[in-house]
Structure 1
Amino acid sequence: MSAAQDDVQEFAALLSRLKDRTDRSYGQLARRLHMNTSTLHRYCAGDAVPVDFAPVERFAALCEATSQERLELHRLWILAVAARQRSRSAATGTAGSAPSAADDSPTDAAEEPTGLVTADPTPTDTPPRHPWYRRRRLLVSAAVATALLATLGSLSALPDDDRPRASDSVQGTEPPRTTPTGSPRPESTASPSPSPSAPSPSADASKKSSPKSAPPTDRPSKGAGPQQAPAGVPLTWSANSHVWQAGCGHDYVVARPPSQVPPPPAPQDAEVWAGSQGAVHGEQTMVEISVQGRTSTAVVLKALRVRVVGRSVPSKGTVYTMDQGCGGALTPRYFDVDLDKDRPIARPADGNDTGVTIPAMRLPYRVSAEDPEVLLVDARTQNCDCSWYLELDWSSQGRTGTVRIDDHGRPFRTTGIKGLPMYVYDTSARSWVTYRP
């Protein structure tokens, strides 16, 4: 094996060691690096060397390489790129009869057969001479650029009264323009511009004064859509507290008789149905939290905490169950919360798929714009009417913080159902009937 191949293989070996240290496959790493799986595999096998160090740096970050390993990776990458270039130069000089890098004399160039395509013996820093049609394109581009500069220069030479003022843009209004005689200046039509993509100063001023450019507020929205974290927080989240067990089983406590309660909704309409009936989650609340980074930079989810802000005796009313036990064979992994504890803790719990264990999700965990994550919280109570919310600790690029996860600005609410009358919907009779478990 030649010295050039040794350099490439040492670089590939370090990549392979970093990859094997993670629990991710080639496909998972390739998706995060925005490259093909086969390309990443060729890098780790020594069949190819990236021409840019940026993907190598991102690869090292995903594999949690130390600073010393990153320095060594950069050194080996430089040697591998140089080895590849030497290999190509040697192959070109042998197969194409091109003069070697050390043989640039005019005599050798003149002795070459005229019918062969050879490498240009001129130094690489000498700019090549473009064909006549490319020179024409360059001349046309230069003429267009000159006309554009002349137009911009004429605009800058206008009097101060004709220019948009920064203070006017800040206030959101622009005062009427006047001529030197004091009469209002009519709106002028824009003259044809040599470049259709060049924006006019007045257009820029109107964009700055638009209400859409106002900075986002830190207060979360109370609508039904995703709830955004305050500005400056590197992640965003949304929460759905009307998730049913196995997609069909859930209990609601409603302070109305069965004759005044409509039939059970479809699972996707549960939030609207519960809101219209003033329903409270009975015994169990399952919250599905979607967390995503704002950029490709990784955000580490460090801890998930439970805050109980209110306790009282279980709510009075009637329990309306959404099914008669249609649970399936799939139980997703989740965070188990016992609200009856004085200080509830979100404990990771395993899931199950037809007898196969789904490992619990352990924090810390990384997310980004390309790698969102869904957290499922299963909170239960038997002895109280509990109001509670969640706190999610995060860290990114030396910064740390906490976001509050709640029900559109309000705490989640779960109540015990022991001793309350229970009804289930009979589809054949199209009415609520007494449920006897």
Structure 2
Amino acid sequence: MSAQDDVDDVGEFAALLRALKERTDRSYGALARRLAMNTSTLHRYCAGEAVPVDFAPVERFAALCGATPEERLELHRRWLLAVAARRRPRTASAAEETTPAGEEAGDPDPSPLPRHPWYRRRRVAIGLAAACAVLATLGSLSALPDGRRSAADRARTAGPAASGTTEAKAPDRSSTSPTPSGTPASERPSASATPKRKKRSSPAPSARTTTPPRSGKKPALPLTWSVNSQAWKLGCGHDYVIAKPPRQVPPPPAPQDAGTWAATQGAVHGGETLVELSVQGRTDTAVVLNALRVRVVGRTAPAPGNAYAMDQGCGGAVTPRSFDVDLDKDRPIAHAVAGSDTGVPIPAVRMPYRVSAEDPEVLLVTARTVTCDCRWYLELDWSSQGRKGTVRIDDAGRPFRTSGIKGLPRYMYDTSARQWGPYS
């Protein structure tokens, strides 16, 4: 079997993996977390750069992507061919690598030299060149008068500073604490230094262009985030507390219009608030999300009014992995909660998480209360490249607000009568 056949077998297996992945709306990072697998490993499988030695992760991947029994059987067949292709010795490619450029594999061997790999020939050539250089240097030294040295020898003795050709190091980009003058102490020239020493210590022009002094400014955060505080459970279930009678409350909005609808009605989240927090890095450098904390800044009696349900009980087969918060406790804590995806368990995964520009993370926080009208926000601890910090996650500068609905009249919308009626 040819090497091309091996490549085709691996490529067909990877192509089927990519086709299954494209059926979902999940990124490689999201799929890898659910498979308890490294993101880069999954990407290498789908790119044809590697083949898993066991079919178990492939089977879990197929189930997560909703593959049919026929597709799983075809995936197993292609996996067997791909594994066999990777295990076969690649004799053809090895012969091509050892054949010198400009010669055919079938040409007669004119001398023993072509039988050596290219890197051995290069090593011999470099050794001969080095020997010639040493002999030339010794010859020039013997030709000089006593007590004098060549310019090259003086340059070697004086070191890089005397020759003036040493390339200056670029400033350390991982440092976040510049000196008061805006220039690192190691880069400021001394008044007593000679011109050559100054030339050595000054930064290279390219480094100065790409990394200008910050003049005391705080370095930019390595991550960014966005918040949706009007998420509904499973996309359809939610309660709002509104201080209006049913006849003055318009019909429930579509989920994407919930924020505008709630603002016009002066609505407060009833019983629970679902916060979708999307976090990603600004570059390819990983940012570690170490902890998520809850801060309650106010507790009063539940807000007066009526509870209006946005659905009649939607249910569903998908329960996403999330964090659950009990606001009625004195010190609420965000607990990781397990979920399920069409019957496939999604284990609760506790922090830390890793994010980057290409691998974002969506955290779903569900905060509940029965006894209070609570105002609260989140704190997210992060670290990256020796830096660390905490960002406040709130509702556009205001605390999130959740009020209990126990004991309040509750209504649902009757679509046939086009009016609110008692919740049954």
So what's the TM-score if we normalise by structure 2?
0.54
Give CA-to-partner distance per residue, 1:151-197, whole Å, 9 cap, x none. xxxxxxxxxxxxxxxxxxxxxxxxxxxxxxxxxxxxxxxxxxxxxxx
What is residue 64 of structure 2 aligned with on the other side? Answer: none
Matching residue's letter, 1:29: T
User: Aligned to 1:232, what secondary structure does the other structure show?
Assistant: coil
Write the distance in 2 (CA, Å) between the matches of 1:307 and 1:325: 31
Q: Retained in 2: the 8 A contact 1:245–1:327?
A: no
Write the distance in 2 (CA, Å) between the matches of 1:313 and 1:100: 97
Q: Retained in 2: the 8 A contact 1:234–1:396?
A: yes
What is residue 244 of structure 1 aligned with on the other side? Answer: 232
Q: Does 1:330 align with 2:330?
A: no
What is residue 105 of structure 2 aligned with on the other side? Answer: 95
* TM-align CA RMSD: 3.4
Q: Does 1:281 align with 2:269?
A: yes
Q: Does 1:24 align with 2:37?
A: yes
What is residue 421 of structure 2 aligned with on the other side? Answer: 433
Aligned match of 1:352 in 340, 362, 365? 340
Matching residue's letter, 1:429: A
What is residue 310 of structure 1 aligned with on the other side? Answer: 298
Write the distance in 2 (CA, Å) between the matches of 1:346 and 1:265: 29
Write the distance in 2 (CA, Å) between the matches of 1:243 and 1:100: 77
Shift of 1:242: 1.0
**Residues 333 and 36 of structure 1, relative CA distance in 2, 3 Å threshold:** closer
Write the distance in 2 (CA, Å) between the matches of 1:429 and 1:23: 49
**Residues 235 and 266 of structure 1, relative CA distance in 2, 3 Å threshold:** same
Q: Does 1:388 align with 2:376?
A: yes
What is residue 284 of structure 2 aligned with on the other side? Answer: 296
Count of residue pairs brought into register by the alignment: 255
Matching residue's letter, 1:274: A
Give CA-to-partner distance per residue, 1:302-361, whole Å, 9 cap, x none. 111001011111111111111121111221111010000000000001102344321112
User: Aligned to 2:48, what secondary structure does the other structure show?
Assistant: helix
Write the distance in 1 (CA, Å) between the matches of 2:398 and 2:109: 77
Write the distance in 2 (CA, Å) between the matches of 1:241 and 1:277: 16
Matching residue's letter, 1:284: E
Write the distance in 1 (CA, Å) between the matches of 2:112 and 2:285: 46
Shift of 1:245: 1.3
**Residues 94 and 28 of structure 1, relative CA distance in 2, 3 Å threshold:** same
Q: Retained in 2: the 8 A contact 1:30–1:40?
A: no
Structure 2 residue runs of 5 or longer lacking an equivalent are: 1-34, 54-92, 126-213
Write the distance in 2 (CA, Å) between the matches of 1:374 and 1:101: 65
Give CA-to-partner distance per residue, 1:40-99, whole Å, 9 cap, x none. 449x9xxxxxxxxxxxxxxxxxxxxxxxxxxxxxxxxxxxxxxx9997134766715387
Give CA-to-partner distance per residue, 1:102-146, whole Å, 9 cap, x none. 759xxxxxxxxxxxxxx9xx9999xxxxxxxxxxxxxxxxxxxxx
Write the distance in 2 (CA, Å) between the matches of 1:101 and 1:364: 62
Q: Retained in 1: the 8 A contact 2:324–2:335?
A: yes
Aligned match of 2:403 in 395, 415, 420? 415
Shift of 1:28: 4.6
Shift of 1:399: 1.1
Matching residue's letter, 1:288: E
Q: Does 1:232 align with 2:213?
A: no
**Residues 87 and 351 of structure 1, relative CA distance in 2, 3 Å threshold:** same
Shift of 1:256: 1.4
User: Aligned to 2:263, what secondary structure does the other structure show?
Assistant: helix
Write the distance in 2 (CA, Å) between the matches of 1:270 and 1:426: 18
Identity %: 62
Mapping of residues 12-161 of structure 1, within 5 Å: 23-24=36-37, 28-29=40-41, 31=43, 37-41=47-51, 88-90=97-99, 95-97=105-107, 103=113
What is residue 204 of structure 1 aligned with on the other side? Answer: none
Matching residue's letter, 1:262: P
Q: Retained in 1: the 8 A contact 2:96–2:105?
A: no
Write the distance in 1 (CA, Å) between the matches of 2:309 and 2:111: 83
**Residues 100 and 256 of structure 1, relative CA distance in 2, 3 Å threshold:** farther
What is residue 361 of structure 2 aligned with on the other side? Answer: 373
Write the distance in 1 (CA, Å) between the matches of 2:413 and 2:248: 13
**Residues 98 and 362 of structure 1, relative CA distance in 2, 3 Å threshold:** farther
Structure 1 residue runs of 5 or longer lacking an equivalent are: 1-21, 45-83, 105-118, 126-214, 219-229
Matching residue's letter, 1:329: A
Write the distance in 2 (CA, Å) between the matches of 1:102 and 1:85: 19
Q: Retained in 2: the 8 A contact 1:340–1:381?
A: yes
Give CA-to-partner distance per residue, 1:200-252, whole Å, 9 cap, x none. xxxxxxxxxxxxxxx9xx9xxxxxxxxxxx96111111111111112111100
So what's the TM-score if we normalise by structure 1?
0.53
Write the distance in 2 (CA, Å) between the matches of 1:254 and 1:395: 41
Matching residue's letter, 1:89: T
User: Aligned to 1:304, what secondary structure does the other structure show?
Assistant: strand
